[in-house]
A and B are shown apart, each in its own frame.
Chain A
């Protein structure tokens, strides 16, 4: 009841899914997929979100209660969450309301800046890699610099061949390495999925 039935659901349901890919029968394509699985998984999905919300709120509540380091900032989390959720539920999600204002003038600038910050940290990582002075790091950086320079007008001014070299890097060695990695990832994911289907891999069910 605790582990066997969920395991049987995964194994038997997984086999039906394998059949769904290969068998074009109405029973699988329409009855199983459209009438059963899609509406059922959609009805379940909002509760998954609820689990995440409760989990995050519990984590911040515990942080405040225990007065953990930087606990004061958890109030900002609750303020942001409650105000945005109430703005959406009460005021609606249309443009011009508080909900979209918060998204456009707080969430969007902050998340874009977070990603922009990574430009500095990547530059610092590149510097550290260059200091390592290994042949591998040098090749990596040279390829990166060629690709970066080819995308800006300065690159063309340095050499008119730079865009062609960059395109060659992307089309030949980059393609070969990505293809090799993708083939490895594909083989690995098939092996892991088969382990789940055969009941060998059970870590997703958690402990006792």
Chain B
């Protein structure tokens, strides 16, 4: 047996273990689920060490002698006080330092999610599709405006927003299902082409 075939057999075994959940929850699925979490964590730890700890902590401090970076490192270590009942408040310092960035998200969210979308929505209504988009956008926005009761003519208009959203959710649902099915096809192709055919050839 070649090493490649052995590797594919290992992949096939764990693929089938995960698929076995379709029948019911079973020890093979449980084992693979925990292995997946463990391997993913081990993989991320090594990547973080190589791509964050060494270049952003060890090299600047010990090779470039940027001693000032000892301060954020100590603040970073404060994360670990989360496990101490007495000193857990220290973990608020690194969290607070990371949360500072929300200041930038006020103008950036205003720009990206509101102004850009409004600019795109406020175009001359030159055809029926642009009119439908305009009505839909307003109706969906008003659907989430709860300060006015959804009754009467206003309620009927707001209801249009619900239908627009149903079509939108349906489209997203369809696209997501297709993405998942292409993954499923990929797994089946792996089992058929790389494993079964390799065994019988």
Which A residues contact B (CB, under 8 angstroms)? Answer: 1-3, 5-7, 9-10, 13-18, 20-22, 37, 39-51, 53-56, 58, 70, 73-74, 76-85, 87-89, 93, 99, 101-120, 122-123, 126, 136, 139-148, 151, 168-187, 189-190, 193-194, 196-197, 204-206, 208
Contacts and interface: CB of A to CB of B under 8 A. Distances in A.
Contacts of A6: 92-93, 95-96
Contact of A43 (B69, B80, B121, B174): B69
B39 A81 contact: yes
A145 B50 contact: no
Contacts of A46: 48-49, 52-53, 56-57, 76
B181 interface: yes
Contact of A119 (B10, B38, B135, B181): B181
Contacts, number: 400
Contacts of A78: 38
A41 B97 contact: yes
B79 interface: yes
29 contacts: A39-B56, A43-B57, A43-B73, A44-B79, A48-B76, A53-B41, A54-B83, A73-B31, A74-B34, A78-B38, A81-B41, A88-B45, A103-B39, A107-B40, A111-B40, A114-B18, A115-B180, A116-B186, A122-B173, A145-B174, A148-B178, A174-B172, A176-B168, A179-B137, A183-B114, A183-B117, A189-B105, A204-B95, A206-B88
Contact of B76 (A44, A81, A83, A142): A44
Contacts of B178: 147-148, 151
Interface of B: 7-8, 10-12, 14-15, 17-19, 21-22, 27, 30-50, 52-53, 56-57, 60-61, 66, 69, 71-73, 75-77, 79-80, 82-83, 88-89, 91-110, 112-114, 117-118, 120-121, 129, 132-141, 143-144, 161-178, 180-181, 183-184, 186-187, 190
A143 B41 CA distance: 39
B133 A111 contact: no
A47 B94 contact: yes
B174 A148 contact: yes
**Taking each of B50, B71, B93, B101, which has the highest tally of chain A beta carbons within 10 Å of its own beta carbon?**
B101
Contacts of A45: 48, 52, 56, 76
Contacts of A108: 11
B162 A10 contact: no
Nearest to B80: A51
Contacts of B8: 105
A179 B121 contact: yes
Given A10-B99, A46-B57, A178-B168, A21 B173 contact: no
B165 A47 contact: no
A4 B5 CA distance: 61
B171 A182 contact: no
Contact of B92 (A107, A143, A197, A206): A206
B89 A3 contact: yes
A179 B173 contact: no
Contacts of A15: 103
**Taking each of B66, B118, B168, B170, which has the highest tally of chain A beta carbons within 10 Å of its own beta carbon?**
B170
